[in-house]
Structure 1
Amino acid sequence: MFLLVLKGTAMVAIMFGAVFGNLLVITSVMKFERLRVITNYFIVSLAFADLLVAILVMPFNAFNEISEKWLFGRVMCDIFNANDVLFSTASILHLCCISMDRYIAILHPLQYETKMTKTRVAIMLAVTWVASILISYIPIQSQLYTTSENYQALESDHHACLFIVNRVYAGVSSCVSFWIPCTIMVFVYAKIYMEARKQEKFIQSNAVYMQYSHSVGKRDAQRFERKRMKREHKAAKTLGIIMGAFILCFLPFFSWYVITSMCREKCPYPPILGSILFWIGYFNSCLNPILYAYFNRDFRTAFKKILRLDRSNCDMFDPTTQALNTAYNDLKESNHLRTSVS
């Protein structure tokens, strides 16, 4: 009984944290104009996906775990499984989009405004959601995802809702939902890290040069450049940590998912293992807002203002995350200053 209460308490805490935290993220971006930058459009869409996980997926899984039987019928079983695949896929594809956004902002800052337009961002978000629907609802609703044995078992026992997939779907869905996007993100962030290290060395050497520079114009131009670089690096670091947290939460699940789907009866495992891995993945949905609050000063300030923990004037809002809106303008002004003093 104690373990059942402990399990239920943990599940409720994760659900509440995911709903509360992601609503806070969405409200912050809607309420504060300074948070309405390109990268945060992806973050809002990601928060929406995490919010739907907490509302449409976690409660059904929790009831199933506590009662140890499925209470919602055959049709809802398929919808539940499809939603689970849909939102986990959407989450990692959003992170993949964010990594590409950061890649362009840091490695190609002068091209950022022309490449990352609102129209292009809308297309990227639409593709993310459509791809997630295609890999989830279509194969699951058409029963192409499972084995014939599991399909017959589900048809005969409506109190069971097991997500048992065939080898083809296991391979395709895991590649689309995790392995390919994860590989792309690791590669992109490796490139970003190398470029950031290069720019940090430039900033340090430039700081020494500025001490001996007698030209006000040159010093101002270099100061603009340093500020832009620092803002971009901070945003990239925060989003890199979010990506790392996602991988840590989902790598165990997808490894288990592929192994057990491929070898089936030859790879027995305790049922509790599957439950733990599912909920570690769900925990990621309430983790992102915590990471924003800890690593991003602007989100932290916005959260405090919304929760009435900070009653200071909203105009005093820290502009750190204006990086994507101001970087290009700073750089243009920097180039103008260089031209004027040369």
Structure 2
Amino acid sequence: MNSTELNQSTVTFCLLDLGYSQIFNTCLLEVAVILFLTVLIISGNLVVIFVFHCAPLLSHHTTSSFIQTMAYADLLVGVSCLIPSLSLMHHLEGLDEELTCKVFGYMVCVLKSVSMASLACVSVDRYVAVTRPLSYSAVVTPCRVRACIAVIWLYSALIFLPSFLGWGKPGYHGDVVEWCSSSWSTQPIFTAFIVAALYAPAALTVCFTYAHIFRICRQHTRQISERRARFGRHEPEPGEQACPDKRYATVLFRITSVFYLLWLPYIIYFLLESAGIYHHPAASFLTTWLAISNSFCNCLIYSMSNSAFRKGLKRLCLLCIQRSDHTKKPSASTQQTCHV
């Protein structure tokens, strides 16, 4: 082996090829990005899960079941992000690269599929609540919600199984392992299958449901305004509450803009590489972890937009502060529980 080959063999594999791999033995920028997102994802979703468990009143909302499912899936995404960090820091060198790559890629793809499907179910749940308010409780029952969540997990687990049979690469989540980037290629047929079976239906469902929610609420508000103008009433009668257009418009904007902002670059690159049009390791890294950052944004969009959740979080913070004060000054009130 000559000196040139020796230098190449000692260079650390880094997707963001900025030249520091020739100096350091660790991909510093990649590790920093992944660890930063890991902390955000884990901490954000732990707060969501903790608030839901300590605020039983939140569990009475059907949407909360899907939000909690999404939070658990996103939390596991954050925990799994520790694997590429350890790989980049050369703590997984004893493991089989191919198996590690496939298992990690499959696991993250399944979890992101659960998160994306839960996101779509939230929009469907709100659509049914707006379009069929009188029969909502009969249509959306706890049993059906649990069955829907089970189907989400099962469908997500099955849809990516063909990747183990050599049909194609499901994503770039494992590309921090060198085998994933150099020896595992995407296939146009499998990519088209994933887009048609997961990405497109989820995106279309979100757009359809929230667009109709916005339209129905705007129409409802217009009818109430016309009725008040005709009969000269300024105060709404009981049960005649206007649909909050501004609130729904804000939620619609957040959902569609954040979803497409974070996932669309990943999907576009996925299609371009599968078709053999464009391939670049840095592009795969950036689009992948931009999409994974959605696991943190989910808890902000869907939980923080819930007024009951905000009240539960505020009450929980106050109780934590009180408990912290009481540890310094013991009293009988230290027996408070976390229930809101």
TM-score, normalisation: structure 1: 0.74
2:41 pairs with 1:24:
no
Call closer, same or farther: CA 1:251–1:224 in 2, change over 3 Å.
Answer: same
- Tell me the equivalent position of 2:260: 247
> What is the rounded CA distance, in whole Å, between the counterparts of 2:168 and 2:33 in structure 1?
30
Alignment partner, residue 161 of structure 1: 180
User: How many aligned positions are there?
Assistant: 295
Ranked by relative contact order (alpha carbons within 8 Å, sequence separation 6 or more), the top structure is 1
Residue in 1 that maps onto 2:36 = 13
Instruction: Please give the alpha-carbon distance, in whole angstroms, between the structure 1 residues aligned to 2:233 and 2:116.
Output: 47
Q: CA deviation at 1:199?
A: 1.4
- Matched ranges for 1:53-68 at <5 A: 53-56=77-80, 58-64=81-87
The aligned amino acid for 2:309 is F
**Whole-angstrom distance in 1 between the partners of 2:89 and 2:232:** 66
Letter of the 1:32 partner, please give it.
Answer: A
State the one-letter code of the partner of 2:62.
I
Q: Which amino acid aligns with 2:312?
A: A
Question: How far is 1:131 from its partner?
Answer: 0.8
Query: Take 2:51 and 2:256, find their aligned partners in 1: how far apart are those partners?
Result: 21
Question: Can you list the C-alpha shifts for 1:202-242, whole angstroms capped at 9, x where unaligned?
Answer: 343455568638xxxxx77x343307x44x98478537623
Conserved in 2, the CA contact under 8 Å of 1:18 and 1:286? Answer: yes
Alignment of 1:182-261 (within 5 A): 182-208=203-229, 212=233, 222-226=237-241, 229-230=243-244, 234=247, 237-238=250-251, 241-261=254-274
Decide whether the 8 Å contact of 1:25 with 1:289 is kept in 2.
yes
* Cα distance change, pair 5–223 in 1 and its aligned pair in 2 (3 A): farther
8 Å Cα contact 2:127-2:210 kept in structure 1: yes
CA shift, 1:294, in A, is 4.7
Seq. identity, %:
22
Q: By how many angstroms is 1:78 displaced?
A: 1.3
Other-structure match for 1:40: 64
Instruction: Select 1:179's aligned residue among 200, 211, 222.
Output: 200
Matches within 5 A, 1:253-292: 253-262=266-275, 264=276, 267-292=277-302
Is residue 69–residue 159 contact of structure 1 (8 Å, CA) maintained in 2? no
1:286-307 CA distances to partner (integer Å, 9 max, x unpaired)? 1122334653333223223334
Q: Which runs of 5+ in 2 are unaligned?
A: 1-19, 324-335
Report the alpha carbon displacement of residue 270 of structure 1 after superposing the two structures with TM: 2.7
Change in Cα spacing, 1:134 to 1:186, as seen in structure 2 (3 Å) is same
Match of 1:122 among 135, 146, 155: 146
Unaligned runs of 5+ in 1: 148-153, 214-218, 318-342
RMSD: 3.5
Normalised by the length of structure 2, the TM-score is: 0.75
| AA matched with 1:51 | L
Compared CA separation, residues 237 and 106, structure 1 to 2 (3 A): farther
